[in-house]
Chains A and B, each alone.
Chain A
Amino acid sequence: MQTLPWLLVRARLRKNLIRALTTGAVVALAIISLLSMQGISHSTRNSLVSYSLSKLPAGQENLTINSSQAISSAVESQAIDAYLRKNMQIFSKDTPTREIIYRALSDPHGTSFYFGAIENIDNAIRLTTGRLPGFCTAALCEVIQIGGDPKLAPRPEKYGLKIVGQGEIENSLLYAGTMGPPRGTALLLSSGISSASSLPKFADSDGTSAWVEKIDVGRITQLGADPFIARMVAFEDRLSIDYPHLVVTWPQDALSNASEQAVTFTEKLSLLKFAVVTLLLAFLALITFRQRKDHSQFRASLSRIGTPKQTLAWELFYESAFPLFAGVLFAGVLSPLIPKMLAGINYQTGLADIYFGWPKYLLLFVVAQALVVGLTLWRDQAWRGVQFISLISALVSLVLYLQQNNVTNSRYFIIPFLYAAGPVLICFLILRYLVSFRRGRQKAIFIIFKEFFGLWQGVASMIALASIMAMLALGYGSGLSRQVATQAQNEVPLDLSLLTGSNLIRPLDLAGSSDYAGLQPGSQAFPILRTGTSIRGQNSVAESLSLIGMPAQALALADPKLEKFARAQEFNKPNPQRGIPVGSTREISVTLSGIPPIIDLLGWFLTSRGTYQSASFSGQSNQRSLSLQGAVPPESELVAFEFRESSNYLSRRLHAINEGNYSVPKVAGIGSLEKILFDGTSQPLSPSVWRNQNFPFAFDGQSLYLQPKSELGIPSVVTDEVTAKLAVNGVLTLLGNGNTYIQVKVGEVIPYFPSAGDRFVIMELAAMQSKLSQSDLGTIDPIEVWIKTPTPEKLSQILAAPPYEGLVVKSRTALQYALSLDPNNVGLLDSYRIALILALLMAMLVALAALPLLYREGRIVLFQLEVLGHQAITLKHAVRFIWRTALLVGMVVGIGLGVLIGRIFVSPSIPFVEEATLVLLIYLIIAFFGALLSHSFLKEEKLVGR
């Protein structure tokens, strides 16, 4: 009796081969997808830890145990060594590396250097010249020089040290971070810590011992980040008790951050995995519903000849399990390829990582089989018990599966409705409507439509589900690209941004914007002025905002929507005449009155290259002069005079104040700049423009500037929506330092502008300079340059080389690339892609298998219709028409719901136009293959078989 079920199962599978193969293939694909996602998840968790650690400064990514004092006792040293080796085993499979360093020393010539020692120096150092150090005794200790200037080697003989060679540290753990000497200072290393620490010259020196170990990412993944952190903290506590002078340094914040990111990632991925599971279960439900009647007839036939119910139950069990098992088996056979496949897209996983948490898949198998059994017996009164048990098993297993996946997100419970039941129901209703719509029309279409309704419903539903998945996957991808692009654009509005570097104060000091533009053909460079300001908001509370000045062209390039506004006269007013052109003048002399001699005078010039430059007038009387030769390039423009206390007077005054002596007074009064001569020729200096007559001054460390007064009216600006609401009659009053203010008109209101933050006002550069110059010259100089170039990479390379290497160069493409490498994004995107491939393959399988399935199971209906007088070609066209209609319904429903779900859960701003176009293209491809598949339909010679 035991073999009977197998006999029946074999026969059933033989009869329903297409269905079984399709099911097995879909199950295999789904499992491979889930396993791949599992691998991606595992690899991404590792990557997140590595990524977080990689962003830390050198040395901080390691686990370091420092001793605040050099440990000279060999016994103590060995004891600590043993202690650490034992207790740090849980964090890494490697043993900690020990190092020692003493405080800075200097030789008789004043050259600074450090002395340190490590064990097994030959394994850690790469020799460049000389030889490795050998002995280290109290009389003489051989050392090797690391770093420093090789031409100015220290002379450490008085410390009993002898340099025998030079080299580089190969082991990145050693002398990194706080343990490393300052850059450019030599480190002299000897071999053997105990011998070095027993050197008498260093016995009383301050030294630091350290044990360094690389954080083992694999161990973190194995233990889990949080347990790892907990163990580290416990170790830290224990160590502080056992060896109070030892201090542990480890990247706790980075690991915690990575752990949080990993949790978020896993949650997101679990949602996606559950969507894949839902897709699989929906497929199984649809295919089971379709074969429900067939199996019911089969059971009835067997029951009629007295086949025991137990046999039927086993038959159903095996029959439902077989395609699932075959799929699992097939996936199992292919699974060794998954790590290789994932390696192809930069994920490092092993089979163990892929099969991690395998009981979850067992539960999934139970869910799937119980669902199939339960639905096969749906509404069969004789099998109510089995049906009930099956559906309860499915439900319980599903709950356990969700529990295994640490479900805390309520979205899980929405997914089956939103992602399976909803689309299926909508497809059903639309197809029902279409059937009734067809009722009075071509009868052949109507009959084929209605007789095989379940099949069309299955096709439409699967296409809908696949389309949703496709829309989500593509939407997520494009959303991510947009997000990365937006992020990069926010930081680098055009192709490159040049900012103040460590060795330079202003980019324009190095070169004018035209010089940067000239570095690569076709490039444009725009100086950008950026400062902070504020505005009175509600209840007169000052609200901060960025005030940004840029040329009109830069505005249009950064936000093409503003192009028209940027071209408008009101924004792009001509640069007002500001200064006095010096031409080829060699000397400038001025006549002052009321200005004490202790006040220095400087002239500010705008060079023809666009840079600003200052030069000091000589003399302390009312007559002062400035020689321009060699100090200011010809054809510059005198744009401002700067008055300031002389540095001597200022430091004297401040020193006195520090000592409580206020006898050195502040300089104040009323002065005038009476006359200006260029090579003896008087230059017009309008008091109404320059305000050079009777200007008050009171110096307290700051400068006073005389500049030509702006002749601009109220400039038109671009601002954000919140700021725009604060305008009175369209005018914003921006507050400056003290009681100064600037008035601007609201020209354009936009929600966002790259690099501008939430609150901003963007003005034309010249207008802004002109407005600001009324109050504070120090803020008017551009310190940022935006570059638009057809060759950002080449230009970046040029800017990385001298004389520009001191600049901070940000490239939008490089930034975009760096942002796109975030393991979080990459992992999810790849998982979405896998889900997309699965969904498309499933949709193609179901859609294309539907045609031969119909022809195999429904040919007799087609023949009957032909007997009734419908032509074969009409019937074939009817089949294709309905099939395509089902595809179209599924696609439209899928795209619609995909956009809806995507906008709710992925990004509200994704237009999904490209995604919808791609889905449409896939539809056309499937339709094409469908036409090929159905080409031979109804071409048999005999119209009716036996």
Chain B
Amino acid sequence: MTTPTMAVKVLRAPRVRRGNISFNLSLAVLAVMTLAAVFAPLIAPYDPDAVDFAAIYSGPTPAHWLGTDALGRDTLSRMIFGARTALLGPLLVVVSSTIVGILLGLLAGWRGGWIDSVLGRIFDVIFAFPALLIAIMAVALFGKGLVAPVIAMSIAYAPFVARLTRTLVASERSRPYVAAYRVQGFSGGWIALRRVLPNVTPIVGAQSTLNFGYVLAELAALSFLGLGVQAPTADWGAMINEAQAGLMGGYFLPAIVPAMAVVIVVVAVNVIGEELSDRIGGGIPA
């Protein structure tokens, strides 16, 4: 574009600078949850699996702040221990899918041609299998638990990362700055790995942060369905599953507590992911 309307354009799209309160609050929530997960045995007031028939469906009391479930187990303690599987699963999925996705996306976007076409076709097929469906299939094949679903979901999410990376890399590749590097005599590999990759990674990373929330919800759903983490292990999804029976009797707390834990963590992760996308997206000329 040439001369005129820079000022007009900037004005036409007024940007609200979001207050960072929600962002910082979300970081705090995530930090607390992570610490709780890591130091669960030190923090939790009770053994999460300790059955106490004297205190079945206890409401909130000084002894049990968030009450107990049908077996008298302390809901707070179970929630704290549940944070372990809740956070670890998504972390593994996000990290592995991001690494694999970025590498494949870089390959497809940078090399183009038949590699791009073949990878694109493979991604299209995997896209047709939603992550939760792949996870359910993995359970059907390899049995219940979290190992198979985590691997399956890493495979399911990698194409999302790869496609985003591919699009970004392909658009970077056509930018004059890449041509400029070539004219200066830099090799294609150097440009791709040392210059283009670092330019696209922050955007992809921010997007992967958003995936964390989805994965967390989906793995919890799997446990809720009785296909993931198995009772009596403390896990948010499994806790809700077990607490379902009590709902009809009006005992909401054992179900609502882990449910709120899921919601709060997902909100926090999404707020962080969106804020990161906004900040990073704003810095790179589109």
- A, B bound: no
